[in-house]
Chains A and B, each alone.
Chain A
Amino acid sequence: NAGVTQTPKFQVLKTGQSMTLQCAQDMNHNSMYWYRQDPGMGLRLIYYSASEGTTDKGEVPNGYNVSRLNKREFSLRLESAAPSQTSVYFCASRAGGTRNYGYTFGSGTRLTVV
């Protein structure tokens, strides 16, 4: 029972390079989220997908794009990486519906942009 799986776990990029962070969940959850975690800033929402086929901006969307490929997968793309995007990125999912059990998180991707 994998839950939420994120790849890669670590990545170093040069400024201007692009990359895609992958996230997949096997719990048949409707909603998926991407957060970044920075010291002293807590968790900030980048993008989310309330259901398959929809995506919405969060608090800090600039410099990122997302794709909800299907119900299981939600990817985050950095088109031209900048040092300010050095962070730990967490993907999460939630079942939705009337009973709110909160999020299930992935193990994170530690990204360094040099």
Chain B
Amino acid sequence: AQRVTQPEKLLSVFKGAPVELKCNYSYSGSPELFWYVQYSRQRLQLLLRHISRESIKGFTADLNKGETSFHLKKPFAQEEDSAMYYCALSPRGNTPLVFGKGTRLSVIA
């Protein structure tokens, strides 16, 4: 069965410090992976797709198939990065995304 694990419910870092939000997945095939961000009381927004290999708002994520991980990283955290972050896996075909339980990032000034 497909599963996405985000081991940290809450991550607190100081402004300017590096950030790494962990995501591990379980899937037998080749998944497509996403990171979504939800700012306070707003809708979820797509942050990154692994397949596009782009950097958005300074965030990057690399798919590591050996470790089945897709960790989200940013070298210098900003206060406006404080939000809820969800990692999601898309099995092949038209089946729904599988979401992790989310990690709340708090950036302290």
Contact = CB atoms under 8 A, between A and B. Distances in A.
A42 B6 CA distance: 10
User: Which 5 A-B residue pairs are closest in the complex by CB-CB distance?
Assistant: A42-B101, A43-B99, A105-B44, A105-B43, A107-B43
A101 B46 CA distance: 9
Interface residues of A, number: 25
B97 A103 contact: yes
Contacts of B44: 43, 90, 92, 103, 105
Contact of A42 (B34, B42, B43, B99): B99
Interface string B23-58: 000000000101010000011111001010000000
Interface of B: 9, 32, 34, 36, 42-46, 49, 51, 86, 88, 90, 94, 96-97, 99-102
Contacts of A108: 43
Contacts of B45: 105
